[in-house]
Amino acid sequence: MPLVDMRDMLNHAYHNNYAVGGFGLINLDFLEAIVTAAEHCRSPVILNLVESHFEHFDFGLIMPAVEHAARNATVPVAIHSDHGTSHASAVRAINLGCNSVMMDASLESFPVNITQTRHVADMAHACGAAVEGELGYVGGGEGENAAKYPGEGVYTAAEEAKAYVERTGVDCLAVSIGTVHGRQRGRTKLDFGRLKRINDMLGIPLVLHGGSGLTEEQYHKLILNGIAKINCYTELSDIAARTIRSNLQPDTGKGYIETMLGVRDSLREQIKLCMHLWGSAGRAAEILVQCRPWQPVEHVIIYNTEGVSTQQVEAMIAQGHKSLSVIPGVRRVFAGWAIAEPARYRFCWLVQLAHANVIENYHTHPEYRTFTKQCFQPITHDKISISFVANQPAVIPDMAGSASAISSRIIYNGGNSL
């Protein structure tokens, strides 16, 4: 169960004066370090997948590992797609397993930012996912020298922020108050007066981007003024790189494993430090009791066909894969034939939905309607269609261990629908 609704997690942080770390991860060393640090500290944690990093690793390939780590953690975890730039990338993130998305249209004009963010928020909320927006502009680039990116940040205006939140429906807001992404020279000057005004007007969890390298006093004041999520990547990237450089001194022709030795440990220690500094350490138990778990739904359809050839059934199944898998919140589409003959039912669909909220959107989506009306219903009869949600935490079996049985309960009976 420890994959939880990020809204509940951040609301708890916001009302209890601490911040949850959104740690950027780019490989398994980062993933393991973040989750182990959270376990050591009994802290909630957010796994950040930053869209601009997807050119350096395969998002689709890493997500099963990220979800596995989150579901098997004993502390509350949320999986967040960071700095998404389009509706399509938000749909992809949710379908791959993120339960929170950021729409970053902060470089657009105010009305365009609102329109694009609202579009993503409507879709994501219909899938049960949390949504972060950004108003104002936090400059720089994660993991790099901020000075490499010319152009000023744009500070968030409190009055605009209120209108933005009302019109977009975002659950939390990234604000620009003086931080930048990446390394900054000298001490960062933060506009606490501005942050206080924004917090007083909005009353929702605020997000700090460019969260690396501030002082203890600054973090403390940020949290007291509404920051409930702090994004951090540059500090982690620098620590990993420093460890690798020191492993190469002297360079005695070390191989990959020796070169990377200690990276995970140094990352874990830094993350633990952040969790203590930001007050999230020791909060896991309260959140586990108070937060809604994030559970997928298994939609099961068993059916027979009538008066059609095997080729026609195959064509219908191929079209079903194509049509259903593009629907927001559809995580997996499986079509099967009974192994043993004769069987009471010969065919099945197993459609995994990200969350119970998806059910309504799924059944009203134009792709679903066209497919069922034109391809599925005309050749099928004798259908049973039921949606199940696990009534126990879905524990993904460990590679070394055995699978634990997952029992389930029916949450919806779709009758004759697909």
Q: Which residues bind ligand 13P (CB under 6 A)?
A: 24, 50, 82-83, 142, 181-182, 209-212, 231-235
Question: Considering the complex, what minimum distance in angstroms separates the CB of residue 398 from ligand 13P?
Answer: 30
Could you give the CA distance from residue 319 to residue 376 in angstroms, rounded to a whole number?
Answer: 9
Please, which residue, 162 or 221, has the CB nearer to ligand 13P? 221
Question: Considering the complex, what minimum distance in angstroms separates the CB of residue 88 from ligand 13P?
Answer: 20
**Known catalytic residue at 191:** no
Half-sphere exposure in the Cβ direction for 275 (13 Å, CA): 27
Query: Do 159 and 393 meet the contact criterion of CB atoms below 8 Å apart?
Result: no
Question: Considering the complex, what minimum distance in angstroms separates the CB of residue 100 from ligand 13P?
Answer: 13
Tokens representing 51 are 């869209």
Query: Do 34 and 309 meet the contact criterion of CB atoms below 8 Å apart?
Result: no
Please, which residue, 31 or 353, has the CB nearer to ligand 13P? 31
Could you give the CA distance from residue 40 to residue 175 in angstroms, rounded to a whole number?
Answer: 30
Question: Considering the complex, what minimum distance in angstroms separates the CB of residue 208 from ligand 13P?
Answer: 7
Please, which residue, 184 or 225, has the CB nearer to ligand 13P? 184
Could you give the CA distance from residue 82 to residue 104 in angstroms, rounded to a whole number?
Answer: 8
Please, which residue, 67 or 142, has the CB nearer to ligand 13P? 142
The sheet that has 347-353: what strands, in order across it?
A: 330-337, 347-353, 297-305, 380-390, 408-415
Please, which residue, 150 or 307, has the CB nearer to ligand 13P? 150
Beta strands in 222-374 (DSSP E): 227-232, 297-305, 330-337, 347-353
Q: Which residues pair with 227 in a beta bridge?
A: 206
Please, which residue, 141 or 262, has the CB nearer to ligand 13P? 141
For every residue of 205-221, which 3-state class applies, written as one string?
CEEECCCCCCCHHHHHH
Could you give the CA distance from residue 74 to residue 57 in angstroms, rounded to a whole number?
Answer: 27
Question: Considering the complex, what minimum distance in angstroms separates the CB of residue 311 from ligand 13P?
Answer: 50
Which is the catalytic residue, given 5, 8, 82, 171?
A: 82
Could you give the CA distance from residue 133 to residue 114 in angstroms, rounded to a whole number?
Answer: 9
Question: Considering the complex, what minimum distance in angstroms separates the CB of residue 265 from ligand 13P?
Answer: 20
Dmax over CA atoms of the chain, in Å, equals 76
Residues annotated as catalytic are: 82
